[in-house]
Chains A and B, each alone.
Chain A
């Protein structure tokens, strides 16, 4: 009997795009589109089991082996460095990790730079490479508020179109890391199901 390949999908708009790719690649699971509050969906015929999880948790499910494969943003991989294989760039959910500040911001290198962000490690590494002394202010949301209220000098955050920044009189100082959705795999699962995981990877790659 064929066992299921467990696939963790990120909840939300990106997850729907990702599922659409899996469906077009031949790994459909019609029940996933039925309305309701279910979180786990199976299609025994093609041997896949999907589940929706919070985008930032996908890598944890995969690293711990609850999912064999999953899809998450490069931002999550850079921030948490989970011990997983990064098999494929799906070329969707494209955006950038960027530094942004108020339009009239002038960097004073004599002072410690106050940086508000959800991505502490990414921001630290970026400024460390420049030898810049910074003070990280970890926030969980509405990062754009920080410079407006004087809580920080700059923010390090994901920028897609820049519309939110513009509406709040903020602008991009530098885009420093392209971000997109990546297919990841649990290292141990890969050893025992590499044929099936490779097939999924190849089918998704053909859609790019």
Chain B
């Protein structure tokens, strides 16, 4: 049988796995294979990192094991505590999570993780590969990017309670300006102090388009530093292939207990939800006592089933 005949029998998802694996290995990422099971304790300690608290568990002798609900935690766990240089890994794994609060589903994820002495160039490389992954499927894709450091620095300037901060982040993720004012009212924060946050959630567009709006939000201290660092990364990305598809959108968030730096999400026209999600997770690494930085993403291949024929 000819190779072309074999390729013609593959589903979109199977073809995508081959394409992405070739892309990642050609970019210097080593394949990483892991067990389907993991000790439950790993997830119990990092529950908020997962999108769900529901995990399938079973006993193996005296050990309580779980069917893996996540890949990143397992990769970090297996890493040395300190890395010199950078370790670049790619994977193709199944994880098990309930969907829409209902039945458990096997979810196919392909992704990469870059760990160790990660600098702006590695972050840019990973975002570039996220774009190349989407480009391998279609040329009508969008990669949105946000800076958690800018959001975090802006929220630090408001006298928010723990709950208030959590609600404020939900409102930013929903682009809900009204919600931001409601939270501020409950937390007795004057509405004129909200201007930078409401301006931030209204920012949406290509890096060059939003640059003036971002610069207008610059202030002394952490906010200004975070904006400078974000603009520097955007400048690097804007010159690359991914630049044409890149949109700055501060509604792309991750749990701030674990994530920092940039977060990004990928969308394909015709699929009603995000198909790729990633970001920097130095805080998660610090919580797991790993002396290193990390950035990566996962591509949710099952969502490709929704792509119109």
Contacts and interface: CB of A to CB of B under 8 A. Distances in A.
Interface of A: 63-66, 83-89, 182, 186-189, 191-192, 194, 198
Q: Which 7 A-B pairs have the closest CB atoms?
A: A65-B272, A86-B176, A191-B142, A89-B178, A85-B175, A191-B267, A86-B174
Contacts of A198: 204
Contacts, number: 46
A189 B272 CA distance: 7
Nearest to A84: B174
B164 interface: no
B229 to A, nearest CB: 24
11 contacts: A64-B272, A65-B271, A89-B178, A182-B178, A188-B271, A188-B274, A191-B142, A191-B144, A191-B247, A191-B249, A194-B205
A188 B273 contact: yes
Contacts of B268: 188
B179 interface: yes
Most buried by B among A188, A189, A194, A198: A188
B140 interface: yes
Query: At the interface, is chain A mostly helix, strand, loop or mixed?
Result: mixed
A205 B25 CA distance: 50
B3 to A, nearest CB: 34
A88 B269 CA distance: 24
Residue in A65, A85, A89, A191 with the greatest tally of chain B CB atoms within 10 Å: A191
Interface of B: 140, 142, 144, 174-176, 178-179, 204-205, 247, 249, 251, 267-269, 271-274
Given A86-B176, A192-B142, 12 more contacts: A65-B271, A65-B272, A66-B272, A83-B273, A84-B174, A85-B174, A85-B251, A86-B179, A87-B175, A89-B178, A188-B271, A188-B272
A202 to B, nearest CB: 11
A65 B273 contact: yes
A52 to B, nearest CB: 20
Nearest to B144: A191
A88 to B, nearest CB: 8
Contacts of A65: 271-273
Contacts of A89: 178
Contacts of A189: 272
A86 B175 contact: yes
Contacts of B204: 194, 198
A192 B178 contact: no
A6 to B, nearest CB: 11
A200 to B, nearest CB: 14
Contacts of B273: 65, 83, 187-188
Nearest to A83: B273
A83 B179 CA distance: 15
Contacts of B174: 84-86
A84 B170 CA distance: 11
A62 to B, nearest CB: 9
Contact of A187 (B140, B179, B247, B274): B274
A187 B272 CA distance: 7
Contacts of A83: 273
Given A84-B174, A85-B251, A192 B179 contact: no
Chain B CB within 10 Å — which of A66, A89, A186, A189 has the most? A89
Contacts of A182: 178
A65 B144 CA distance: 18
Contacts of B178: 86, 88-89, 182
A190 to B, nearest CB: 8
Nearest to B181: A89
With a 10 A CB-CB cut-off, give which of A88, A187, A194, A198 has the most chain B CB atoms: A187
Contacts of B271: 65, 188
Contacts of A85: 174-176, 251
B176 A192 contact: no
A192 B140 contact: yes
Contacts of A64: 272
A174 B144 CA distance: 42
A189 B271 CA distance: 9
Contacts of B142: 191-192
B269 A192 contact: yes
Contact of B267 (A66, A86, A87, A188): A188
